[in-house]
Amino acid sequence: MATPEQRNDVNFALNNYRNGVYPSMRKAAEAWDVPKSTLTAQNCYRQDRSTCYQDQQKLSPVEENALVDYVQRQMRAGYPLSVEALR
């Protein structure tokens, strides 16, 4: 379990990263001597899952919704798509 000092370091590092003091989360983690994974998890903890990892998705939310609409239209028309067709 983290001590109050360790939690403060994580909070300071995260606040400094968000305020632009450090250009990357890695630099903030190194400066405050906290694990980058902890800093990343804390950054995502304050956001919901769909927005936290949005930059790691292959499709944007708009593209994803357009693809879902297309697949649903094809299914209603009687032409379900194979997985290969969606790649």
Could you read off the pLDDT of 1-50 as tens digits, one per residue? 567 677 788 888 988 988 999 998 899 999 999 998 888 888 777 666 66
> Could you tell me the residue range of the domain that residue 87 belongs to?
58-87
Rounded Cα gap, residues 12 and 17, in angstroms: 9
Q: Are residues 48 and 74 in the same domain?
A: no
Tokens of residue 80, six digits: 């379900």
Q: What pLDDT does 31 receive?
A: 92
Q: Are residues 50 and 73 in the same domain?
A: no
Q: Are residues 15 and 50 in the same domain?
A: yes
Residue 70, pLDDT above cutoff 80: yes
Q: What pLDDT does 81 receive?
A: 84
Q: Are residues 36 and 74 in the same domain?
A: no
Q: What pLDDT does 54 receive?
A: 73
Q: What pLDDT does 78 receive?
A: 92
Q: What pLDDT does 21 receive?
A: 93
Residue 77, pLDDT above cutoff 60: yes
Tokens of residue 18, six digits: 């968000």
Instruction: Give me the DSSP letters along 2-51.
Output: --HHHHHHHHHHHHHHHTTSSSSHHHHHHHHT--HHHHHHHHHHTS-HHH
Q: Are residues 71 and 49 in the same domain?
A: no
